[in-house]
Chain A
């Protein structure tokens, strides 16, 4: 179908504010194809069905909206955890702050460094998983990313990895517009834990393509917060092989506009995919979790657990889908999205969808929204706990179910502690 003129105009305006980075043959080809995809799809507009609950304007406009830099005196997230640090400042790699790009069982490179190479393993994945994720729903911001990403990290995991890889994003310029594209390839039987945190830029567009081979495992823990001016559109495209595992957890606190899309394709039998998120939104917070899980193999399991606590007019969005393709028998799909509205101004908008073409499957989804349980609150207050403390306790208990999805105990404890700290400081 031909695009509407306003959409073409908005798309061209955005593209004209960007420049295709210098690239070698394979990357230039991938970027060119992605640029074509953007033009064919057009960038998101307010009336698009997939953007029904989230106004895409600030993510699409040619210049990034100004964003004050968030200063704080807290210990950095994941501080006490031994990890391989890779730092980006406003989307630019900071070699001085980063550890050497090497590690046992790992091959780590920067996209900008390998761009000119003729042959590179990332050629088979860069923009490839993103393209697969464009059906049946268009994700034009991801295609835009593939075309214009200035840098990114390429990780190939071949063996045992001793510590997590940690991507740290700093924000220093009030008008930075960062586009990063990471590619992860976890080879057969290998496993990787990836950590992400930090405000990144005034506006951040990030794509991560993850290929998890047979019997491999990929764990992802991400903390977005507590910067309030954040505008971010992130995409994860994952493809899972036989008996592989993919687990991703995101903590989102504050942020004017955060849209996290996660597109997972289970292509090998007996694979497992878990995606979870806990969000705490205050004031003009807008947090959107959009998840699309495709079951295309037998006996796979998928789980989506998303919890949001909202107050002072905050908006939480959940769009989740489980697609079970013909033949994907013995699928076990689960999806829950819940919100706790702490006052009358906040809103929760959800579309928990199922599309099933196989008969021997179990898919369940649930979605609830409501205020804090008055009885529980009364119970705590009757035992001498002040109202605000009691509310915080119940809030934490509510979000804990999502945090519990993190498999690694150290990381789980870190996220739970961070959440507690951020909850108590949410006003500042």
Chain B
């Protein structure tokens, strides 16, 4: 696959390093191989029976089956959203498999040692070793992968999801000692029904939107995290999603609960084989942060983006939302979006608790025929709530990249603050960059600032730079380019490799 067309004329002022970095990112897709493994499929198509079948396969209690069926019935009356600036052929929801499980997973393995080596190899090849002793011994997965950059001392617990099922979760014992529950959502439904019942669907309601409703009906697996009061999760948690089977949609559900004063950092990675036919991925992530809790959620989204002619690729229609329910709670979303043919994703924060904080840092890079419509919603309900949005969109080839966001200050959200900065960069003259922010301010003690310019730079920073002998232009360049790095710095160590590739990116010459 050719990288960014070498002949693309890049306008003056755009940093060469940036162009090279985008070329690199948009280059050959490294994770396009396929694992040859025998699979069990549910029959193609979507009916009540399929919903029941998924529920049965997961050995779910009746309440969960009913919950799913209710969602399915609501989904039937819902319309696919059309407002996003993305264009793709009509999806035939009956021409998909909604459940695919490796045959070897029929009997749930008791421990990671029992897991089919082929599956373990798959993850090892992706750089996600699932063997605890390997990680402990510092024997890292080989290859040019994020894991390699990992500090030998650092531990990351991984929940590995392969098509429709979780194949294993590492470090469960150690986490249990700390009181942290980290398991697949199907296990949580069986083992911790009281928590699941209380929180599932409480942030993203069953009928929230077309894809969230579909997910509620057919989600097959995903991760569950509960961090008890006052506990700082002893290691980073991570889920790695792999789509392998053909014509199969992946619908995972993630539920993260940080109880009072808890802290957790959560990473998500995802890849898929290279295929001519597009595949659907419709996930839902719900985060609940109670009083004084803090959750950091980082994603490096690297689904197969399709080939250079726009053939194939993943349709990534994801609903991610955090509810800062408790006072002084904090949620931080960081995302690096480089994959997927079509992205439709708005990780959001509902700032319900007083003094709660929401942050959103995003770099979205689209190349060839990729389309991304992504952004965030910051809904300020509580007093003294603060939010910060930093979004960088880079478009190359014939790609379309849209930032879409909402900042809403409710009448009771007194003394709240929002700062939004979004920049777009176009590489070549056949792509597009768009900004669609919605701003709703309903009280006067709050301040909202939205800007997409390089003209307004912090006065103090300017003063600092000028004082040290830089001329104005140099100072602005330094401060503005520092901004893209700000997003990358928010990424945890585990994503250092990805981050490194992107560090060269500067938004010099951005269009708006």
Residues of chain A whose beta carbon lies under 8 Å from any beta carbon of chain B: 49, 322, 324, 326-327, 329, 333, 339, 341-371
Contacts and interface: CB of A to CB of B under 8 A. Distances in A.
Contacts of A350: 437-440, 450
B429 A358 contact: yes
A361 B512 contact: yes
27 contacts: A326-B429, A327-B429, A333-B512, A341-B443, A344-B444, A349-B440, A354-B434, A354-B435, A356-B426, A357-B432, A359-B429, A359-B431, A362-B511, A363-B452, A364-B453, A364-B454, A365-B452, A366-B450, A366-B451, A366-B453, A367-B437, A367-B439, A368-B447, A369-B447, A369-B448, A370-B441, A370-B447
Given A352-B435, A354-B452, A369-B441, 18 more contacts: A341-B444, A351-B439, A352-B437, A353-B435, A353-B436, A354-B433, A355-B432, A356-B426, A359-B427, A364-B452, A364-B455, A365-B435, A365-B452, A365-B453, A365-B512, A366-B453, A368-B449, A371-B444
Contact of B439 (A49, A333, A364, A369): A369
A7 B235 CA distance: 56
B199 to A, nearest CB: 31
Nearest to A355: B434
B441 A339 contact: yes
B118 interface: no
Contacts of B432: 355-357
Q: Which 10 pairs between the two chains have the least Cβ-Cβ distance?
A: A363-B512, A341-B444, A364-B453, A359-B426, A370-B447, A369-B441, A350-B439, A354-B435, A360-B11, A371-B444
Contacts of B437: 350-353, 367
A363 B511 CA distance: 5
B428 interface: yes
A348 B427 contact: no
Nearest to B434: A355
Contacts of B449: 366-368
B430 A341 contact: no
B442 interface: yes
B63 interface: no
Nearest to B11: A360
A69 B258 CA distance: 60
Contacts of B229: none
A356 B512 contact: yes
B446 A367 contact: no
A356 to B, nearest CB: 5
Q: Which of A322, A343, A344, A361 has the most CB of B within 10 A?
A: A344
Contacts of A354: 424, 433-435, 452, 512
B83 interface: yes
Nearest to B455: A364
Interface in B84-117: 85
Interface of B: 10-12, 83, 85, 411, 414, 424, 426-456, 511-512
Nearest to B448: A369
B5 to A, nearest CB: 14
A358 to B, nearest CB: 6
A359 B452 contact: no
Nearest to B412: A344
A49 B83 contact: yes
B448 A351 contact: no
B113 to A, nearest CB: 54
Q: Which of A329, A333, A371 has the most CB of B within 10 A?
A: A371
B81 to A, nearest CB: 12
Nearest to B404: A353
A344 B446 CA distance: 9
A94 to B, nearest CB: 42
A361 B12 CA distance: 11
Contact of A367 (B83, B431, B436, B450): B450
A366 B452 contact: yes
A326 B441 contact: no
Contacts of B435: 352-355, 365
A343 B445 CA distance: 8
A50 to B, nearest CB: 12
A395 to B, nearest CB: 13
A356 B512 CA distance: 8
A348 B452 CA distance: 19
Contacts of A349: 439-441
A48 to B, nearest CB: 12
Contacts of A360: 11-12, 429
Contacts of B428: 359
Nearest to B430: A326
B441 A356 contact: no
Nearest to B425: A359
A362 B509 CA distance: 8
A53 to B, nearest CB: 8
B335 to A, nearest CB: 21
B512 A341 contact: no
A169 B328 CA distance: 55
A350 B434 CA distance: 16
Contact of A361 (B83, B430, B511): B511
Contacts of A327: 429
Contacts of A344: 411, 414, 443-445
A270 to B, nearest CB: 19
Contacts of A347: 440-443
Contacts of A345: 411
A352 B512 CA distance: 12
A368 B439 CA distance: 9
A35 to B, nearest CB: 27
Contacts of A346: 444
A338 to B, nearest CB: 10
Nearest to B9: A359
Nearest to A349: B440
A351 B438 contact: yes
B87 to A, nearest CB: 13
Contacts of B444: 341-344, 346, 370-371
A331 to B, nearest CB: 9
Contact of B11 (A49, A333, A359): A359
Contacts of B438: 350-351
A364 B443 contact: no
Contacts of B453: 364-366
A360 B445 CA distance: 39
A339 B437 CA distance: 16
Nearest to B428: A359
A324 B424 CA distance: 14
A338 B390 CA distance: 20
A370 B448 contact: yes
A98 B158 CA distance: 81
A205 to B, nearest CB: 27
Contacts of A342: 444
Contacts of A364: 451-455, 512
Nearest to B440: A349
Contacts of A333: 512
B434 A348 contact: no
B429 A356 contact: no
A364 B507 CA distance: 14
A366 B419 CA distance: 11
Nearest to B417: A370
Contact of B441 (A329, A341, A361): A341
A265 B201 CA distance: 46
B445 A352 contact: no
A367 B11 contact: no
Nearest to B402: A355
